Amino acid sequence: MARYRARRVVAGLAAALLVTAVAACGNDEEPAGGGAQASADDGATLTLWTRAATEAVSKAYAEKYNATHKNKVEVTAYPNEEYPAKLASAAGAKALPDLFASDVVFAAQYASQGLWVDLSDRFGALDVKDKVAPAHVKAGTWEGKTYAVPHTIDMSVMLYNKDLYAKAGLDPEKPPTTLKEFAEHARKIDKLGGDVNGTYFGGNCGGCVEFTFWPSVWAAGGAVLDAEGNNAKIDSTEMADVFALYRSLYDEGVAAPASKDEAGPTWLGALQGGKVGIAPGPSVWLGLIEEKGVKMGVAPIPGPDGGESTFVGGDAIGIGATSTKAAQAWDFLAWTMSDEAQIEVVAKNKGVPTRTDLASNKYSSTDPRVVLINSLMAKGQTPYARNFNASFNDPQSPWLQTVRGALFGDAAAALSQGNTDITKSLQQS
């Protein structure tokens, strides 16, 4: 998950952005629905902005689309940490690109500020609308209208080292089905000694913790936010139980000592080293870890006593509110959700399709682990809140303070105070 530092710049332009949106929507004169898609491929040049983390996928989409359409999509990527400020500046100048993607947890904020064109009628006319990642579609909805659709999908899963499982006397084909069993497996692997650790987590990274701990809360039937994203619900038994389990693993030395200060940059490297038994992490890491010669297994993230869920992350994409080429931009977006794009661009490159009906396809079916990852999308959640970044992902957010207290301080006090502080942040205008 991205941890942006530019929230004040973005939030400070909220009022101006709303005015921008009202003025820009008048440019969108193309009739809604799928009927206009063919005529919208008229040779227009479309600008698409994305953050660096999504650049490769965005360019792969554009390359495939450009090869088969008259329209041409030109992709520009910006460093993750600079991207929100870049969008805010462009919105203030009424010069947004024709299309722009963002971390999906920003979707509600950008939709509420009017940065994207209303896609409700167009999306509603798609034959595949009910098969498009439900958590992402919800994240891109504001006041009942759809403003963004899925661009890329990344989910949290349990990743485990099969060789260390075997050495610890565990069955490499039987991953844990409860979080308590996960802890037992981690403890057994940790007993191998030496430089082997049972597990690892990002204890100084708010985004890392929400991405990997929250699915266990959801699997247990708990919630993190209310439906509107205005009130925190972290002071719960489910959240306390999840934090208590990870805290015990750290206190016992089962979690690598570096977990306490892990802020994200070296998280992947710890698993690539082949000395961590089992840990939750992004699904896209499967191939990156195996590139280092580490044989990995994959399992859903369970709740303390069972169930399973995932954090459906990745990027959402919409049409810039100041674009004068909304019809042509929609032609591209509609195509990205097609069978061709999802199979030949996403699945072919080992990505997660944004369609629930394409979990098993000609590329993923060769690896049961990939099919499992893809199938989890329909079971996962994407948190929804207009002020998500300021409340959770920002390094100065009340969530990170809560995480530090819950893992390494007074846990009960941290969750109670954190719930109050996060709710206050969520409700800021």
- Computed over every residue of the chain, the mean pLDDT equals 91
Percentage of residues in the chain with pLDDT exceeding 90? 87
70 vs 331: CA distance, rounded Å: 11
80-89: per-residue pLDDT in tens? 889 989 999 9
Q: What is the mean pLDDT of residues 277-284?
A: 96
252-261: per-residue pLDDT in tens? 999 999 999 9
Q: What is the mean pLDDT of residues 379-405?
A: 94
User: How many CB atoms sit inside 10 A of residue 221's CB?
Assistant: 12
pLDDT at 37: 41
Q: Spell out the residues 6+ positions from residue 76 whose beta carbon is closer than 8 angstroms to its own.
A: 47, 48, 49, 50, 97
pLDDT at 195: 97
**Strands 312-319 and 149-161, bridge-based pairing:** antiparallel
- Span between the terminal Cα atoms of the chain, in Å: 24
- Res. 422: pLDDT tops 60: yes
pLDDT band, very low/low/confident/very high, at 192 (cuts 50, 70, 90)? very high
Identify the helix (H) or strand (E) that includes residue 142. strand 141-142
Higher pLDDT, 1 or 159: 159
pLDDT at 40: 93
pLDDT at 344: 97
pLDDT band, very low/low/confident/very high, at 199 (cuts 50, 70, 90)? very high
pLDDT at 80: 87
Which residue, among 407, 345, 355, has the nearest Cα to 377 in the 3D structure? 355
pLDDT at 44: 98
pLDDT at 354: 96
pLDDT at 14: 35
96-140: per-residue pLDDT in tens? 999 999 999 999 999 999 999 999 999 999 999 999 999 999 999
139-148: per-residue pLDDT in tens? 999 999 999 9
255-289 burial, b at 16+ Cβ within 10 Å, e below that, comes to bbebbeebbeeebbebbbbbbbbbbbbbbbbbebb
Asked if 319 and 98 count as a contact pair (C-beta separation under 8 A), the reply is yes
213-265: per-residue pLDDT in tens? 999 999 999 999 999 999 999 999 999 999 999 999 999 999 999 999 999 99
Alpha helices in 82-201 (DSSP H): 83-92, 107-112, 120-124, 134-139, 162-167, 179-190
pLDDT band, very low/low/confident/very high, at 35 (cuts 50, 70, 90)? very low
Which residue, among 256, 248, 185, 263, has the nearest Cα to 407 in the 3D structure? 248
pLDDT band, very low/low/confident/very high, at 194 (cuts 50, 70, 90)? very high
pLDDT at 357: 95
104-114 burial, b at 16+ Cβ within 10 Å, e below that, comes to bbbbbbbbbbb
**Strands 301-303 and 306-309, bridge-based pairing:** antiparallel
Q: What are 308's strand-pairing partners?
A: 302
pLDDT at 170: 98
pLDDT at 36: 37
- Res. 385: pLDDT tops 80: yes
pLDDT at 350: 86
pLDDT band, very low/low/confident/very high, at 378 (cuts 50, 70, 90)? confident
- Res. 345: pLDDT tops 90: yes
pLDDT at 241: 98
Lowest mean pLDDT among 19-33, 208-222, 280-294, 371-385: 19-33
- Res. 16: pLDDT tops 50: no
pLDDT at 62: 98
pLDDT at 27: 41
Identity of the highest mean pLDDT range in 3-7, 15-19, 121-125, 285-289: 121-125
**Strands 145-146 and 141-142, bridge-based pairing:** antiparallel
pLDDT at 419: 98
